[in-house]
Chains A and B, each alone.
Chain A
Amino acid sequence: MNEPRHLFDKVWDAHAVGTLANGQTQLLIGTHLIHEVTSPQAFGMLDDLGLPVRMPHRTFATVDHIVPTDQRQEPFADPLADAMIKALRANCERHGITYFDLGSGRQGIVHMVGPEQGITQPGTTIACGDSHTSTHGAFGAVAFGIGTSQVRDVLATQTIAMTKPKVRRIEVNGQLGPGVYAKDVILHIIRTLGVNGGIGYAYEYAGDVFDRMSMEERMTVCNMSIEGGARCGYVNPDDTTFAYLEGRPYAPQGAAWDEAVARWRATASDPGCAYDDVVVIDAADIAPTVTWGINPGQAVFIDERVPHPDEVPAGERASIVEALAHMQLQGGQAIAGTPVNVAFLGSCTNARLSDFREVAAVLRGRRVAPGVRAIAVPGSTLVKEACEREGIDRVLIDAGFEWRAAGCSMCLAMNPDKLRGDELCASSSNRNFKGRQGSATGRTVLMSPVMVAAAAVTGAVADARAVFGAREA
Chain B
Amino acid sequence: MALEPILQLAGRGVVVPGDDIDTDRIIPARYLRAITFDGLGDALFRDVRFDEEGRPLDHPLDQPERQGATVLLSGRNFGCGSSREHAPQSIVRAGFRAVIAGSFAEIFFQNATTLGMVCLALGDDDLAAVCAAVEADPAAEVAIDVTAATVTVAGHGYAGALPATARDALTRGRYDPLAELLEHDADVAATAERLPYVAGGTA
Contacts and interface: CB of A to CB of B under 8 A. Distances in A.
Given A20-B177, A414-B29, A435-B47, A38 B83 contact: yes
Residue of A31, A133, A436 with most partner-chain B CB within 10 A: A436
A130 B164 CA distance: 26
Contact of B184 (A18, A250, A413): A18
> Which interface class (under 10, 10 to 19, 20 to 34, 35 or more) fits A?
35 or more
A210 to B, nearest CB: 23
Interface in A96-130: 121, 124, 129-130
Contacts of B88: 147
Residue of B83, B105, B110, B185 with most partner-chain A CB within 10 A: B83
A145 B181 contact: no
Interface stretch (B6-14, B18-26, B133-141, B145-153): B18-26
A440 B47 contact: yes
Contact of B181 (A38, A133, A153): A153
A124 B197 contact: yes
B202 A22 contact: no
Interface in A149-180: 149-150, 152-153, 156-161, 163
Interface residues of B, number: 68
Residue of B48, B115, B185 with most partner-chain A CB within 10 A: B185
Contacts of B30: 413-414, 438
A260 B106 contact: no
Interface string A60-100: 00000110000000000010110110010000000000000
A52 to B, nearest CB: 12
A122 to B, nearest CB: 10
A309 interface: no
A20 B106 contact: no
B182 A14 contact: no
A51 B169 CA distance: 23
Interface in B33-77: 33-37, 47-48, 51-52, 76-77
Interface stretch (A181-189, A193-201, A330-338, A381-389): A193-201
Contact of B201 (A57, A87, A153): A57
Interface string A317-354: 01100100000000000000000000000000000000
Contacts of B36: 40-41, 44
B25 A433 contact: yes
A10 to B, nearest CB: 12
B34 A130 contact: no
A434 B26 CA distance: 11
Contacts of A433: 22, 24-25, 81
Residue of B28, B34, B52, B181 with most partner-chain A CB within 10 A: B181
B2 interface: no
Given A17-B184, A161-B180, A433-B22, A24 B165 contact: yes
Given A14-B194, A158-B192, A295-B20, A200 B106 contact: yes
B198 interface: yes
B37 A41 contact: yes
A55 interface: yes
B85 interface: yes
Given A30-B197, A149-B111, A21 B174 contact: yes
Residue of A44, A51, A196 with most partner-chain B CB within 10 A: A196
A250 to B, nearest CB: 6
A131 B29 contact: no
Contacts of B115: 149
Given A22-B168, A41-B35, A124-B197, A147 B180 contact: no
Contacts of A55: 192, 198
Contact of A146 (B83, B165, B197): B83
Given A129-B83, A150-B110, 14 more contacts: A22-B172, A26-B188, A66-B33, A84-B33, A147-B107, A147-B114, A148-B89, A153-B178, A158-B188, A159-B184, A231-B107, A250-B203, A413-B30, A440-B48
19 contacts: A23-B164, A24-B165, A26-B184, A38-B85, A41-B37, A131-B82, A133-B83, A147-B84, A150-B110, A150-B114, A152-B178, A159-B184, A196-B77, A231-B106, A256-B200, A294-B20, A319-B20, A412-B29, A434-B24
